[in-house]
Amino acid sequence: MFLGRHAHAVDAKGRMAVPARFRDALADGLVLTRGIDRCLALYPMAAWRPLAEKIDALPISDPDARTFRRLVFAEAVDLTLDTQGRILLPPELRAYAGIDRDALVVGVHTSVEIWSPERWASVSAALDDDGAEVAQRLASLI
Amino acid sequence: MFLGRHAHAVDAKGRMAVPARFRDALADGLVLTRGIDRCLALYPMAAWRPLAEKIDALPISDPDARTFRRLVFAEAVDLTLDTQGRILLPPELRAYAGIDRDALVVGVHTSVEIWSPERWASVSAALDDDGAEVAQRLASLI
DNA sequence: GGGAAAGTGGGGACAAGTGGGGTCCCCGGT
DNA sequence: ACCGGGGACCCCACTTGTCCCCACTTTCCC
């Protein structure tokens, strides 16, 4: 289970530390790819496999499905943690997410998202100050 | 079952003691996150899991649902009690709830809320003044 | 009022995060 | 085939933060 928002630095070599409490779940490999809303999505290998099969099963006749398939698969890379528990973010993916020097590693229960701080701020601004709105959404969606 | 209101200090390291009678129910982990009305919400792991499952099931095709999902999980932290029965309140969550030196730990049956004394005072003052009115509005719900 | 449990606070060990340096290997050029 | 450049990865060092342990104080309950 991935939780929390962790600010981490990307060093000159493009490496970024993965929060220590996430590492066990990622020890046997992970897949990093483009996520929705211009973030990066990181899946433990065990979670990636069924997800890939689902996406693969989308009808090829549907234009949106084709686009989505390309979004996910075209830039996907499988990585392993290095001996310091870091991953190397490929330049294309960093560019896609607008990540430069700093990044936010966000646990989203079953997967992990990586955000540029600026984009994250714009996403969270909508609900940040308004707890009541969160509550209403909770009530209506659940 | 959590009941009662307990005043506790937050020390210089951000640690806060959990009332002794709450500890058994929190022994196998807990999740701390933002609560409604600028308090912090603390769930025993057993209560958190079904809640997380529900949120996880929200459709990723809906942008609002994606944002909601991200914020709920991103602002949550999973903690364990230290050997003294304390938890470490992350600085972001303390800032969100306006908790500095002192905090109120409030049992609300299935979960626990943590308040800054000032905010609690203003909320409970409102309840003192309008208690009868609030009760009337709620009458239809019970 | 006395003892035990709970709460509070500080010191220190250890792990996590960060960044730099060095080495091996692949690959392309001579 | 050999050499040189670049990238990926490992190792090491330093800094920061977390957590354990110990000690003291306060509160609660006999």
**Cα–chain-centroid distance for residue B135?**
23
* Rounded mean pLDDT, B107-132: 88
Residue A140: inside a domain: no
Residue A142: inside a domain: no
* Rounded mean pLDDT, A119-133: 73
Instruction: Mark yes or no for CB contact B74/A4 under 8 Å.
Output: yes
pLDDT in tens, B51-105: 999 989 888 888 878 888 898 899 999 999 999 999 999 999 999 999 999 999 9
pLDDT in tens, A91-116: 999 999 999 999 999 999 999 999 99
Give phi and psi for B10, each to the nearest 5. Answer: -105, 125
> Strand D nucleotides below 7 A of a protein CB?
8-13, 18-23
- Number of folded domains in chain B? 1
> Strand C nucleotides below 7 A of a protein CB?
5-11, 15-21
* Residue B33's CATH number: 3.40.1550.20
Task: Categorize the per-residue pLDDT at B36 as very low, low, confident or very high, splitting at 50, 70 and 90.
Answer: confident
Q: What is the mean pLDDT of chain A?
A: 89
Which of A59-63, B89-93, B123-127 is least confident? B123-127
What domain range includes position B26? 5-139
